[in-house]
Amino acid sequence: MSERDFIPLGIAVLTVSDTRTPAEDRSGATLAERLEGAGHRLAGRRIVADDVEAIRSAVTDWSKDPAVDVVITTGGTGFTGRDVTPEALEPIFEKRMDGFSAIFHRVSFETIGVSTIQSRATGGVLNATFVFVLPGSPGACRDAWDHILALQLDYRHKPCNFVEIMPRLDEHLRRGGGRSA
């Protein structure tokens, strides 16, 4: 059996923060550097405030853009009053990815121990686009990319990966079932 060729994806990075500027956005920079270093294309990068509608709007817009295969958010996954990224996105996911959260916490536990409990990292599918919701620390973004996303977003990863199922993510939309944002 021959080796599969790498398939570069369009990945958008959304930083959720009331205080970060592009120059101070270390988490977004970490993700952009890693995804480009892996051979993917940075399809977009933005910073929005910790606001449900702003987060939802940015991710929904990207999920409808044919140049965007994946959206990764960073920030807003904690427990403070302004941490609203999961609340913004989970209600509009067509499918939730509970396994992502479980694996993220396992990986994170190796780095920060029980403090991983303070993250509500999650993932799902919206408009046939994978969406991953990460904490706002560069370390959490490194852990998620290096130990989960770099593998699952690489078509060569076996026994399975997200890339090979991307063409089938919108089957429910083509059949007229399900919902879309």
- Residues 23-51 have pLDDT tens digits of 999 999 999 999 999 999 999 999 999 99
- Read off the tokens for 47: 């910073």
pLDDT digits (tens, 9 = 90+) for 94-139: 999 999 999 999 999 999 999 999 999 999 999 999 999 999 999 9
Cβ partners under 8 Å of residue 45, min gap 6: 12, 13, 14, 15, 28, 32
Q: Domain extents for the chain?
A: 10-167
| Nearest-angstrom CA–CA distance, 164 and 51 | 33
Q: Evaluate whether 121 touches 157 at the Cβ level (below 8 Å).
A: no
| Nearest-angstrom CA–CA distance, 108 and 137 | 12
- Predicted local confidence at residue 2, as pLDDT: 58
Provide φ and ψ at 112, rounded to 5°. -120, 10
Q: Evaluate whether 52 touches 84 at the Cβ level (below 8 Å).
A: yes
- Predicted local confidence at residue 181, as pLDDT: 44
Q: Evaluate whether 48 touches 58 at the Cβ level (below 8 Å).
A: yes
Cβ partners under 8 Å of residue 155, min gap 6: 4, 5, 6, 7, 161, 163, 164
| Nearest-angstrom CA–CA distance, 148 and 11 | 15
pLDDT-derived band at 179, boundaries 50, 70, 90 = very low
| pTM assigned to the model | 0.93
Pick the CATH number of 10-167 from 3.40.50.1970, 1.10.8.420, 3.40.980.10, 3.20.10.10: 3.40.980.10
pLDDT digits (tens, 9 = 90+) for 10-27: 999 999 999 999 999 999
- Read off the tokens for 146: 């290096």
Q: Evaluate whether 170 touches 109 at the Cβ level (below 8 Å).
A: no
